Amino acid sequence: MGERMVFERNWHKWYAKDVPGAVEIKKDTMPDILKRTVDKFPDHTAIIYMGKKILYKQLERLVNRFAWALKNLGVKAGDKVGMILPNIPQVVIANQAVYKIGAVAVMNNPLYTEKELEK
C-alpha cells in the first residue's frame, strides 16, 4: 500500500517531460485552506470589490464573526444554510463561515421569484 498507480494515457505522450501523468490531491477542507492562506499571506489582498480591498487577515476575522453568529442562531454541522446574495464580498464571507461550522451552503439566485424559491 502507499504506492500510486499511474496509467499511461494516449495524451501523456504530448506532455512535457517534467509534467507528471497524475497529481496527488490533498483532502483539505475549505477552512483548512483559508487558514493556511491567512497564515502565509495575512497582508495580501483576498478580495477587491468596487475599489475596496479586504486582506486575508481581515477576511478571516469577518468569517469567524459570521460563523459565531450562525452558531448563536443554532446552525450546526450538517445544517443547510440558504443564501440569496448577488456577487458581493458577503458571499465569500458567508460561504466560508458556513464551511467553517460544517454546514452546507445552499446558494440561490437573487433573481429567483418566490415561486422558484419554493421548489
pLDDT digits (tens, 9 = 90+) for 97-117: 999 999 999 999 999 999 988
> Which residue, among 67, 93, 62, has the nearest Cα to 79 in the 3D structure?
67
Cell of 49: 470589490
β-pair partners for 104? 80
pLDDT digits (tens, 9 = 90+) for 23-41: 888 889 999 999 999 999 9
Mean pLDDT of 56-73: 98
Q: At what angle do helices 89-100 and 30-40 cross, to 10 degrees?
A: 110
Confidence of residue 1 (pLDDT cuts 50, 70, 90): very low
Mean pLDDT of 50-63: 98
Instruction: Give dist(CA 33, CA 7) in Å, integer.
Output: 29
Cα distances (Å, whole numbers) of residue 115 to 10, 53, 111, 112, 118: 49, 37, 11, 8, 5
Mean pLDDT of 53-57: 98
In the predicted model, is pLDDT for residue 89 greater than 50? yes
Confidence of residue 5 (pLDDT cuts 50, 70, 90): low
Confidence of residue 85 (pLDDT cuts 50, 70, 90): very high
Domains of the chain, with CATH numbers?
Answer: 28-118 (3.40.50.980)
